[in-house]
A and B are shown apart, each in its own frame.
Chain A
């Protein structure tokens, strides 16, 4: 069965500092991988996704993530945090050919001025 683990339910960074949100998955075969972001009182929106090909994926708002098969990881990074990045971030996996997208528990990012 697929599962997603996000290390750290809360991460706090200073404005301008590196953002690193960790995600590990378990799956018998490499799945499709996603990061979604949720701002207060809103639904989730896609930040980026990995399907096939290049393992470093770039998304919106300066975020990127790298798929590392050997580590079963898909960590999200951004070189310089902005106040507007404060939100909850969800890592998700989807088995190829299926309709089930499984989400991690989420990591709330706080950005300090």
Chain B
């Protein structure tokens, strides 16, 4: 396993479902991120975790619930989503000791909400 791995790659869910996205990084990084990528919009930073502690919550609706049990794993729990939440969800990691903060991205989880 190398880099940042996201599962599932594709997810279709109804508005009343509960599902989770998983991210795992094998780079020994300390910081992990969730970004939302929608068509024709800039990437939106959702959450940042550094050493398992949440440092950023960019006014994300409570129907998105992150969890970071350790520095290698990050989850995004999804509940009662709306069709406008359909997007590509990208996980990234970085080394906090890297002052420039280069991000390493996974391939994303394509979410469709019906």
Q: Which residues of A are in contact with B by a Cβ distance under 8 Å? A: 4, 9, 32, 34, 36, 41-46, 49, 51, 90, 94, 96-106
B25-68 vs A, CB cutoff 8 Å, 1 = contact: the mask equals: 00000010100000011110100101000011000000000000
Number of interface residues of B (CB under 8 A): 27
Contact of A101 among B45, B50, B106 (CB under 8 A): B45
4 nearest CB pairs, A to B? A43-B105, A103-B43, A105-B42, A44-B105
Which residues from chain B sit less than 8 Å from chain A, CB to CB?
4, 6, 31, 33, 40-43, 45, 48, 50, 55-56, 90, 92, 94, 96, 99-108
Chain A residue numbers with a CB within 8 Å of B33 are: 99
**A20–chain B nearest beta-carbon distance, Å:** 20
**Would B107 and A46 count as touching, CB distance under 8 A?**
no
CA distance A51 to B96 in the complex (A): 15
CA distance A96 to B103 in the complex (A): 14
* Bound form: Cα–Cα A42–B92 in Å: 13
Complex Cα distance, B72 from A100, in Å, reads: 19
Contact B4 A43 (CB under 8 A): yes
A residues in contact with B102, CB < 8 Å = 34, 46, 49
What are the residues of chain B within 8 A of A102 when measuring CB–CB? 42, 45
Decide yes or no: A99 and B90 within 8 Å by CB, A43-B108, A105-B41, A106-B42 being known contacts. Answer: no
**CB-CB < 8 A to A42: which residues of B?**
107-108
Q: How long is the Cα–Cα vector from A90 to B90 in the complex, in angstroms?
A: 14
| B103/A99 in contact, CB under 8 A | no
Q: By the criterion CB–CB under 8 Å, are B101 and A101 in contact? A: yes
Whether B103 contacts A101 by the Cβ 8 Å rule is yes
Q: Are A51 and B99 in contact (CB under 8 A)?
A: yes
